[in-house]
Amino acid sequence: EVHLWESGGGLVQPWGSLRLSCVASDFTFSNYAMAWVRQAPGKGLEWVSSISGSSESTYYADSVKGRFTISRDNSKNTLSLQMNSLRVEDTAIYYCAKVRMGARVNDWYFAHWGRGTLVTVSS
Amino acid sequence: SYVLTQPPSVSVAPGKTARITCGGNNIGTKGVHWYQQRPGQAPLLVIYDETDRPSGIPERFSGTNSDNTATLTISRVEAGDEATYYCQIWESSGDHWVFGGGTKLTVL
C-alpha cells in the first residue's frame, strides 16, 4: 500500500517562507510524477504544482508561479515544496499526491494522497 | 482556462441512486477522474478514466462521460457515502490540472 507523509506546515507571517516535505514509501518513487494539491479552509481542491519522475519537467498553477518551487530527491523518496513570498490566501492544507497516467493521451490523475499538512499565513 | 462546473449539493435517500454531474466544454473528449472527500479526511480516488474503479472501491460507484457532461453515479447509496465529490481533468493546452468546485452529497 502506498504511503505519503507530509510535514513542514505551520504558522508563518505574510511574505515569509516555508518548506514542505513529503516522504513516500511502498512504491518505486522515481517512476512516478508527484504533485502538491491544496485546500483552503472550507473550500475546494486546487492543484498547486507537479514534477516528473526525473525532475525534468515541472508545472505550476498561475497562483503560485514565481513564488513556489517544487523539487524531489529520488535517493530519499522525498518530494519538496519551497514556498516563498507567502500570502494570506496561501493558507490551506497541502496534500502530496502520486500522479498516474490516464488511458487517454496526455491525461493524468492523482492516484494516492497523503493526509496533508496545514499552512497558515497570518500576521 | 478550462472550467468544470458541479452542482454544490445533491441529496438522496438511503438505497436510492445519486448522480453527480460535471460540466465542461467538450468534456467527452477528455479523461475525467473523480475523488471522494469525507469530512476531515484526505481525498480518495473513486473513479479514473471516466469508468474505472481502483481496487477497494465498491461496484456501486460508476461513471460516464459524453459531450459536455461527465457523471458519477452511486447506486444503493449508504450513509457512509456522504462526502464531497470532485471531478478532475488535465488541461493539455496549459499543462494544468483542473478540479470542479465539488458537490456535497447528503444522505437523507
Residues in chain B: 108
Question: Chain A: residue nearest B39 by CA?
Answer: A42
At residue B69, the 3 state secondary structure works out as: strand
* Whole-number Å distance between alpha carbons of A22 and B89: 24
Residues in chain A: 123
Average confidence score pLDDT of chain A: 96
Model pLDDT for residues A55-75, shown as the tens digit of each residue: 999 999 999 999 999 999 999
State phi, psi for B58 to the nearest 5 degrees.
-60, 150
pLDDT at residue B94 above 90?
no
Chain pair A-B, CB pairs under 8 angstroms: 71
- Average pLDDT in the A22-44 region? 96
How much of chain A exceeds pLDDT 90, in percent?
A: 94
pLDDT at site B40 = 94
Whether residue B102 and residue A106 make contact (CB cut-off 8 A), yes or no, is no
Residue A107 in grid coordinates:
491525461
Model pLDDT for residues B31-89, shown as the tens digit of each residue: 999 999 999 999 999 999 989 999 999 999 999 999 999 999 999 999 999 999 999 99
> How many C-beta atoms surround the C-beta of residue B60 within 10 A?
15
Residue B73 in grid coordinates:
453515479
pLDDT at site A90 = 98
Q: Is B48 exposed, middle or buried (0-12, 13-18, 19+ CB in 10 A)?
A: buried
- Per DSSP, A52 falls in state -
Contact B89, B31 (CB under 8 A): yes
Model pLDDT for residues A71-120, shown as the tens digit of each residue: 999 999 999 999 999 999 999 999 999 999 988 878 899 999 999 999 99
pLDDT at residue B8 above 90?
yes
Query: How far is CA B60 from each of CA A32, A73, B13, B35, B39, rounded to the nearest angstrom?
Result: 29, 39, 15, 15, 21
Whether residue A109 and residue B86 make contact (CB cut-off 8 A), yes or no, is no
pLDDT bracket for residue B3 (50, 70, 90): very high
